[in-house]
Amino acid sequence: MNKKIKFRVNGKKVEVDVPTNRLLIDCLRYDLGLTGTKEGCSVGVCGACTVLMDGDMNSSCLTLAVMVEGRDITTVEGLAKNGELNPVQKSFIKYGGFQCGICTPGQVVAATALLNENPKPNEEEIKDWMMGNLCRCTGYYKIIESIQKAHQFAK
């Protein structure tokens, strides 16, 4: 059965008519064309599907679209403002925080949430926050470095 839901994505109001069993990740990717968010494991473990819901990290593969009625969703597409990448994105580019890129949308969304709460996290704090975002390529060193140095790009 279908339900009409209204919420905000990357600051914009949206309204969709979706089956109740539609997952948020599928709604974002297929109904709204925002394919930046990736599905990795489907069980909420890998973090590739990370989006922010009212600023808090969320596994969009485990959230039903109907659950986000009235909420503010931020995807990787919403991090850059007016064509300018955010400090985390700039830092990931400068310090090489990605290789194949499949986990990267989740990584930068999660890291953005971290820096919103703690602008200069130390390595332990970064590891604790980011431990749910898995990466098969980098070995995590450059991800941690990128996040640690992201404050250099903050205004």
Partner 1 sequence: MIPFEYRTPKNLKEVHATLKEFGGDAKLVAGGTALVIMMKQRLVRPSCLISLRSVRGLNSIEISDGGLRIGGLATHREVESSPLLRRRLPMLAETYHHVATLRVRNMATVGGGLAHADPNQDPPPSLIALGATVKATSANGSRVIPLDEFFKDYYETVLNPDEIITEVFVPKVAANTGAAYIKFLPRTADDYATVSAAAVLTLDKSKKNIADVRIALGSVGVTPIRATAAEAVLRGQPLKAEAFAAAGEKAKEAVDPVSDFRGSAAYKKDMAAVFVRRALEKALAGIRQQARAKAAPKPVKRKVAKKKGRRR
112 binds partner 1 (CB under 8 A): no
Residue 67 vs 85, nearer CB to partner 1: 67
Residue 71 vs 90, nearer CB to partner 1: 71
Distance CA 26, CA 45 (A): 17
116 binds partner 1 (CB under 8 A): no
Instruction: List the end-to-end C-alpha distance of the chain, in Å, as a whole number.
Output: 47
Task: Take residue 79 and report the two structure tokens written for it.
Answer: 């991090």
108 binds partner 1 (CB under 8 A): no
Site string for partner 1, 35-64 (x = CB under 8 A): -------xxxx-x--x--x--xxxx--xxx
Per the CB < 8 A criterion, the answer to whether 28 and 51 are in contact is yes
- Give helix 87-95 / helix 104-117 axis angle, nearest 10°: 130
Per the CB < 8 A criterion, the answer to whether 49 and 61 are in contact is yes
Site string for partner 1, 123-152 (x = CB under 8 A): ------x-xx--------------------
Distance CA 125, CA 118 (A): 9
19 binds partner 1 (CB under 8 A): yes
Q: Please report, as ranges, the residues that interact with partner 1 according to CB under 8 A.
A: 1, 3, 19-21, 23, 42-45, 47, 50, 53, 56-59, 62-64, 66-67, 69, 129, 131-132
